[in-house]
Amino acid sequence: MPPVRTPQRAIWWPVLFTVVLAFAMVWAVKFELAGEWQSRWAWPAVGYAATVLALRVGLALVGFRGDGALLALALLLAGLGLAIQFRLGTLALDNPARWSNYALPIGAGALWLTVALFRGPRVRALESFAVPAALLAVAVLGGMLALGQRFRGAVYLGGYVNPTEIVKALLVLYAANLLHVYRKAFEQPALPGVPAWSGGLVLSLAVFWALPMILLAAIRDIGLIALLNGTLLAMVVLMTGRAGYAVAGLGALAVAGLAIWKFVPHGAGRIGVWLDPFADPTGRGWQVLQGLSAMASGGLWGAGLGAGHPTAVPIASSDFVYAALGEELGYVGCGLVLLAYLLLFHRGYRIADSLRDPFQQALATGLTTMLALQTLFNIGGVTKALPLTGLTLPFISHGGSSLVTSFILLGLLLALSDQGKK
């Protein structure tokens, strides 16, 4: 069946229209409170529209022919995220010099660069970047440990830049290559769930996978460890088609969870709060209970963007942005946002299914799974369905490093989607 190419133009106007409606809700409340219109309120929306337009033009210039719907979904979510950040007051409208104001344009730029560099057949070049990527990841994590400062339990560099985010992209690239190189060992397991013996595989895993995990454990980023290993597991299961890995992986997860609960005080606290937040409602349980209170206050339809009180939730703008979403857009709005995410992941897996090359296929699978798991962990944590992992909500949470990384992951996926046709 020959691929049908339809221009994606029709999709862009609804995306822009929807995002502007989200901004309009905030404007209405701000106008009501201030009694006057302030022109600086328009800047985030104008900036968003300009970014979208520039990206369209930029991608057309490099001859991009990939999956426009995927890009549209990501920009829709990023637009909603910007409207919410504007509403929460995270954007410093008085201080145009703050770089975090420009996270979205920077992310879009990173996306464009990624697509421009690796679009089409050039995506094969990524294979040779795999080992350097893993080395870079180890270097970044080591540097963080040496130079970073602790804040809210995590390690940051100056200005709250969090370079561990980029490790996600680097290690998923490495994992895709590992799967490709040691495909045989994975496909002929010694036991169900254990790949066949290969000295190279053991060495690679020890140096380029286990070492970063140890460094992450030292940084105390358990969420990222869970995310990376979950992604690796999904990639192995999908690429080999062997359920044994899934069983072994889930078993390992249970053992790891139990070990964290028993031996890691920091992790035990999080699991304890998850099991019973009411044991310490004004201490450890405070954040998750305030988040749930916000959602309960939103009810089915929500207060409307700008009309609720989501700033009562600690860190509402980053980790707990989903609670703000629940309060102001209600259960219905949350459902629509989740549908947007699911559509995005559906596109990602479709791209993986359309690729022939095993490395590229593994990469597409890994990228999509990583975004999907991060979304699931974040939303699960805020709704108390899962323990808190400290992961952000892709494209919506405040946090420049996180947003830029999400756009780079998406850029790689878009680059992969562009080379299916001759």
Partner 1 sequence: MDAALPHDPVAWAAWLKGAFFVSLAWLLLLLWVRRGREALTPKRRVHRACFAVLALAFLAVYAYQATWQLGGFARPAFVDFMKKYNRRPDNPAKRMVRGEIRDRRGERLAYDDADFPGRRVYPLSAAACHIVGYVDATYGMDGIEAADHPFLEGTTTATRDEQARFGLNLLQSRAPRGNDIELTLDAQLQREAARLLEGRRGAAVVMDPRTGDILAMASAPAFDPHRLTPDLFAGDRERAALMNRALRGLYPPGSTLKVLPAALALERGEEPLLECPASGYVAAPNTPPIRDHEYYAALRRGGAWGGHGRIGLGRALAKSSNVYFAQLAVRLGPSALSEHARRFQFNERVTVYDGSARAIRAEVGRFPDLKDHQRAAAAQLAIGQGEALATPLGMTLVAAAIANDGRMMKPRLAARAAPEWLAGCGTPKAMRRLRALMREVVADGTARAANLPGLDVAGKTGTAQTPRGEDHSWFICMAPATKPAIVIGVLVEHGGFGSTAALPVAVGLLKRADSLGYFHSTPSVAPGSVGTE
Would you count residue 420 as binding partner 1 (CB under 8 A)?
yes
Among 121, 192, 281, 283, binds partner 1 (CB under 8 A): 281
Would you count residue 234 as binding partner 1 (CB under 8 A)?
yes
| Interface characters, 329-348, with partner 1 (x: CB under 8 A) | xxxxxxxx-xxxxxx-xxx-
In the complex, minimum distance from the CB of residue 170 to partner 1, in angstroms, rounded to a whole number: 23
Residues 194-213 that bind partner 1 (CB under 8 A): none
Q: Which stretch binds partner 1 (CB under 8 A): 145-153, 159-167, 191-199, 276-284?
A: 276-284
> Considering beta carbons, is residue 223 or 308 the nearer one to partner 1?
308
In the complex, minimum distance from the CB of residue 65 to partner 1, in angstroms, rounded to a whole number: 6
Among 39, 95, 158, 278, binds partner 1 (CB under 8 A): 278
Would you count residue 354 as binding partner 1 (CB under 8 A)?
yes
Would you count residue 223 as binding partner 1 (CB under 8 A)?
no
In the complex, minimum distance from the CB of residue 238 to partner 1, in angstroms, rounded to a whole number: 6
In the complex, minimum distance from the CB of residue 153 to partner 1, in angstroms, rounded to a whole number: 23
Q: Which stretch binds partner 1 (CB under 8 A): 161-169, 249-257, 306-314, 388-396?
A: 306-314
Per-residue HEC secondary structure of the chain comes to CCCCCCCCHHHHHHHHHHHHHHHHHHHHHHHHHHCCCCHHHHHHHHHHHHHHHHHHHHHHHCCCCCCHHHHHHHHHHHHHHHHHHHHHCCCCCCCCCCHHHHHHHHHHHHHHHHHHHHCHHHHHHHHHHHHHHHHHHHHHHHHHHHHCEEECCEEEEHHHECCHHHHHHHHHHHHHHHHHHCHHHHHCCCECCECCCCHHHHHHHHHHHHHHHHHHHHHCCHHHHHHHHHHHHHHHHHHHCCHHHHHHHHHHHHHHHHHHHHHCHHHHHHHHHHHCHHHCCCCCCHHHHHHHHHHHHHCCCCCCCCCCCHHHCCCCCCCCHHHHHHHHHHHHHHHHHHHHHHHHHHHHHHHHHHCCCHHHHHHHHHHHHHHHHHHHHHHHHHCCCCCCCCCCCCCCCCCHHHHHHHHHHHHHHHHHHCCCCC
With a CB cutoff of 8 Å and minimum separation 6, the contacts of 25 are: 83, 304, 305, 306, 307
With a CB cutoff of 8 Å and minimum separation 6, the contacts of 164 are: 140, 141, 144, 155, 216, 219, 221, 224
Among 314, 319, 291, residue whose Cα is nearest residue 398 = 319
In the complex, minimum distance from the CB of residue 146 to partner 1, in angstroms, rounded to a whole number: 37
Number of neighbours of residue 192 by Cβ within 10 angstroms: 12
> Considering beta carbons, is residue 170 or 364 the nearer one to partner 1?
364
Would you count residue 410 as binding partner 1 (CB under 8 A)?
no
Would you count residue 290 as binding partner 1 (CB under 8 A)?
yes
> Considering beta carbons, is residue 53 or 339 the nearer one to partner 1?
339
Among 52, 59, 66, 249, binds partner 1 (CB under 8 A): 66
| Interface characters, 149-168, with partner 1 (x: CB under 8 A) | --------------------
Residues 386-405 that bind partner 1 (CB under 8 A): 386
Q: Which stretch binds partner 1 (CB under 8 A): 129-137, 174-182, 365-373, 404-412?
A: 365-373
Would you count residue 78 as binding partner 1 (CB under 8 A)?
no
Would you count residue 302 as binding partner 1 (CB under 8 A)?
yes
Would you count residue 94 as binding partner 1 (CB under 8 A)?
no
Among 231, 287, 369, 401, binds partner 1 (CB under 8 A): 369
Would you count residue 17 as binding partner 1 (CB under 8 A)?
yes
Would you count residue 297 as binding partner 1 (CB under 8 A)?
yes
Give dist(CA 105, CA 405) in Å, integer: 13
Count the alpha carbons within 13 Å of 247 in the hemisphere toward its beta carbon. Answer: 8
Among 287, 365, 374, 397, binds partner 1 (CB under 8 A): 365
Residues 100-159 that bind partner 1 (CB under 8 A): none
Residues that contact partner 1, how many (by CB under 8 A)? 97
Q: Which stretch binds partner 1 (CB under 8 A): 9-17, 51-59, 98-106, 154-162?
A: 9-17
